[in-house]
Each structure stands twice: as structure tokens, then as C-alpha cells.
């Protein structure tokens, strides 16, 4: 059984993740439960699959870093793949992404969440533990803007998981490592790219957080993800990532630009046989801004529980809303086929190199616009506007 067959099996079984480790049987995560399938994977086979997926051009980067992130469409399923070295050899952690364009309705999220993206500027955070669907919710918020407003959206991701076809908005997607060397450089570049909306795939480093806060303060709507277990912890983690001597300034900056925070976790609902996001929602009010400035994050919890009139949701109240809900969206390949984006073959951009360019007068220098031979890359999906720019950018 090869990698394609394993992904096809995971797709058939309705798995959200596939884990491959040399010497062990492949493991599927189905409805949050792990289950092994098949025979143990041979180390030589795992290494061969890694070379096939990563490709010869990027293999030196993998050998240097001992890990590699990418996204591919395999067996009709969009996959986010992390390849990494372990004590047994080369392993895989593969996330199988939903085969439809995420929207708030399709993800069974509360319709009030769309209010978070109707602002012209500010910061919206989506938080939660690893594997809780933060990126999928972020994509649904972007799609909400795309279907309703004529805005220029720039996404910065590593890797690109969901591709967007411009509807009313004009969308550009940049992948770290392929289109830009880092989140920091992409955020600096974005200030000269006339964006209305910025999506930052993940905030981990303090410099990325600093530039994200600055972008939210300078007239942009910024959507980003951060790892945490609840809304208060998400805000505390952002402030706590900075040195102690500047945390007061960061807290004030965060309080000024914050719109709201969504913290979510996935819960399997036995009666529906589906996994549904369960959310805590924090909206930026005057008391919340005060608690952030004074760094009294523990007081935010009680404000969320009593802030229903301001659009806030505690986990308990959100669960009650789910229990009373009668109509849920369930995945149907036929019904969602029109939402899937067809691959558009293009020449992929080369992996960025840190090697400085030759001096202008050297014989080895070549114009940057020189034609390159076509080299199709399997699974790479790019998007191009399907309408005239004037129609995209002009409100009806």
C-alpha cells in the first residue's frame, strides 16, 4: 500500500488525520479517536514517499531543517502535510481538509460570527488547541467577506490550505517559503500592497505578533490564529510573548485594535455522526479593553459569561444553542461539488533562496523576468480571477 492508497483509505473512512511512522501501522483519527489500519510501514517506503511528495528541488531544505510543510491535492482530497524525521525514520502527519469551500453555514457555526468581519479595521483572533479547525474557521470568515464585500484580501499562510476563487473581493494568497521568506517579510510587504484585509495563518513569534498588531492599527482588518484553550488565554498569550518591560505597551495596543476573539474546540455529536465546532466568543467592549490594558485577564472570563447582550458566547451557552438547533449541515459530495475549486495548472514559483544575487555587472547575472521552462508540480493549486477586474472591485 502506497501513500496515495493510504490517503484514499483515510478519505473513505472519514478520517481527519493520517499518521505514518516507519515500523508501525498507519493510524487514522476518526471522530477524534485514533485507529490503526493495515500493516506496518517499511522505513524505505516512507523515505521514498517523502522524496516523491517534497520533490528534488526542496529536498535539501528538508534535509537541513529535518521537517517540511506543504499542501497537495492527492486522490481528490486537499491535504496539509508535515514530513519530519523521527527516531524510526521519516514520518508523516497529514491533515485531510474538507472537500468543500468553508462557510459559516457549512461548518455549522453561529451566523452572528459574520459580524466580526464587517469592520473596516481591527484584529480578529481565532484560537484553540492544535487540530481544532482554526484555519478552517478563518477560511470561512474570509469567504464571508469574499461573498459580500468588494475588498482586497491578502493571505499569508504556511502552507496554503484552502484556495479561494475571487467572487466580490480580489484575493491574493502568499505561501511562506515559496512566495515570501517569512511571515515578518510578508507583513512588511503587505503595507505596500494596498490590502483591505490581511489573513495571518499563524502567530507564533513576537515579531509576527508585533507586525500583526501594527497592521491592525493602521487601517487594515487583520484575521489571525493563535494556540490557546480560551479567549482570555489567547489575549494573555499575545501579551506574554513580549519582554516584560514592553508588555504594558503591547496590552494597550491590543486593547485599542481588538475586535473579537473566537476560541473553539471540536465536539463529536453522536446523534448526527458529525464533528461540530463548539465556540467561546469574546467581543471587544469598554470593560474588556480595560481588563486588557491592566492585564487582568482572569476577569475576562466572567465578562464573557455575562456579555450575551454584546454578542458574547460562553462555551456552556454556545453548547445550549447547539442542543436546540435542529438543522445541521452534513457533508455531501454531490451537494458540495460546485463549491470545490478545480486545479488551474501554472508554473509554480521557485522555493526562495537565501543566497545573495550576483553583482549587476557579473556574467552570471540574468534578468529576473527570463522565461523558465515549464515544470508542472503535482497537486499545486493556483487561482486566477474569473471576472474582469472592474467587476470584481466595483460594488454592485
Ranges of each domain in the chain? 3-96, 111-328
Helix %, strand %, coil % of the chain (to 5): 35, 25, 40
Q: Tell me the pLDDT of the chain (396 aa) as tens digits.
A: 899 999 999 999 989 899 999 999 999 998 888 999 989 999 999 999 999 999 999 999 999 999 999 988 898 888 999 999 999 999 999 999 887 788 999 999 999 999 999 999 999 999 998 888 899 999 999 999 999 999 999 999 998 999 999 999 999 999 998 899 999 999 999 989 999 999 999 898 999 999 999 999 988 999 999 999 999 999 999 999 999 999 999 999 999 999 999 999 999 888 888 889 999 999 999 999 999 999 999 999 999 999 999 999 999 999 999 999 988 987 654 344 444 444 433 444 455 544 444 444 444 444 433 343 343 344 433 444 444 444 444 444
Among the listed residues 3, 59, 78, the one whose alpha carbon sits nearest the alpha carbon of residue 380: 78
What do you get for the CA distance between the two ends of the chain, in Å? 52
CATH number belonging to domain 3-96: 3.30.450.90
Cβ-contact 159, 82 below 8 angstroms? no
CA–CA dist 168, 146 (Å, integer) = 6
Output the furthest CA–CA distance in the chain (Å, rounded). Answer: 72
Specify the CATH superfamily of domain 111-328: P-loop containing nucleotide triphosphate hydrolases (3.40.50.300)
Cβ-contact 37, 116 below 8 angstroms? no
Cβ-contact 291, 297 below 8 angstroms? yes
Predicted TM-score (pTM) of the model is 0.78
Amino acid at each position: 500500500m502506497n501513500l496515495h492508497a493510504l490517503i484514499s483509505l483515510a478519505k473513505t473512512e472519514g478520517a481527519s488525520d493520517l499518521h505514518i511512522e516507519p515500523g508501525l501501522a498507519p493510524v487514522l483519527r476518526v471522530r477524534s479517536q485514533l485507529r490503526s489500519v493495515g500493516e506496518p510501514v517499511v522505513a524505505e517506503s516512507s523515505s521514498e514517499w517523502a522524496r516523491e511528495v517534497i520533490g528534488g528541488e526542496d529536498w535539501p531544505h528538508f534535509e537541513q531543517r529535518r521537517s517540511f510543510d506543504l499542501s497537495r491535492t492527492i486522490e481528490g482530497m486537499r491535504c496539509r502535510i508535515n514530513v519530519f524525521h523521527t527516531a524510526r525514520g521519516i514520518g508523516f502527519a497529514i491533515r485531510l481538509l474538507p472537500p468543500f469551500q468553508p462557510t459559516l453555514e457549512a461548518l455549522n457555526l453561529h451566523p452572528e460570527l459574520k459580524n466580526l468581519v464587517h469592520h473596516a479595521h481591527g484584529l480578529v483572533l481565532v484560537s484553540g488547541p492544535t487540530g481544532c479547525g482554526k484555519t478552517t474557521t478563518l477560511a470561512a470568515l474570509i469567504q464571508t467577506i469574499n461573498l459580500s464585500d468588494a475588498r482586497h484580501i491578502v493571505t499569508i499562510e504556511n502552507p496554503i490550505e484552502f484556495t479561494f476563487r475571487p467572487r466580490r473581493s480580489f484575493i491574493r494568497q502568499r505561501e511562506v517559503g515559496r512566495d515570501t521568506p517569512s511571515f515578518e517579510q510578508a507583513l512588511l510587504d503587505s503595507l505596500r500592497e494596498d490590502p483591505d484585509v490581511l489573513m495571518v495563518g499563524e502567530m507564533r513569534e513576537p515579531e509576527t505578533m508585533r507586525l500583526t498588531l501594527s497592521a491592525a492599527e493602521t487601517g487594515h482588518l487583520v484575521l489571525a490564529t493563535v494556540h490557546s484553550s480560551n479567549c482570555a488565554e489567547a489575549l494573555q498569550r499575545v501579551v506574554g510573548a513580549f519582554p516584560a518591560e514592553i508588555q504594558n505597551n503591547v496590552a494597550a495596543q491590543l486593547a485599542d485594535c481588538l475586535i473579537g476573539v473566537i476560541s473553539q474546540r471540536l465536539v463529536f455529536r453522536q446523534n448526527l455522526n458529525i464533528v461540530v465546532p463548539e465556540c467561546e466568543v469574546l467581543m471587544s467592549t469598554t470593560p474588556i479593553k480595560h481588563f486588557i490594558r491592566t492585564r487582568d485577564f482572569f476577569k475576562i472570563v466572567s465578562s464573557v459569561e455575562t456579555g450575551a447582550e454584546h454578542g458574547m458566547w460562553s462555551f456552556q451557552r454556545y453548547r445550549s444553542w447547539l442542543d436546540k438547533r435542529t438543522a445541521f449541515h452534513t457533508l455531501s459530495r454531490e451537494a458540495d461539488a460546485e463549491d470545490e475549486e478545480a486545479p488551474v495548472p501554472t508554473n509554480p514559483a521557485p522555493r526562495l533562496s537565501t543566497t545573495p544575487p550576483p553583482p549587476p555587472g557579473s556574467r552570471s547575472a540574468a534578468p529576473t523576468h527570463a522565461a523558465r521552462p515549464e515544470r508542472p508540480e503535482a497537486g499545486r493549486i493556483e487561482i486566477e480571477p474569473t471576472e474582469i477586474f472592474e467587476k470584481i472591485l466595483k460594488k454592485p
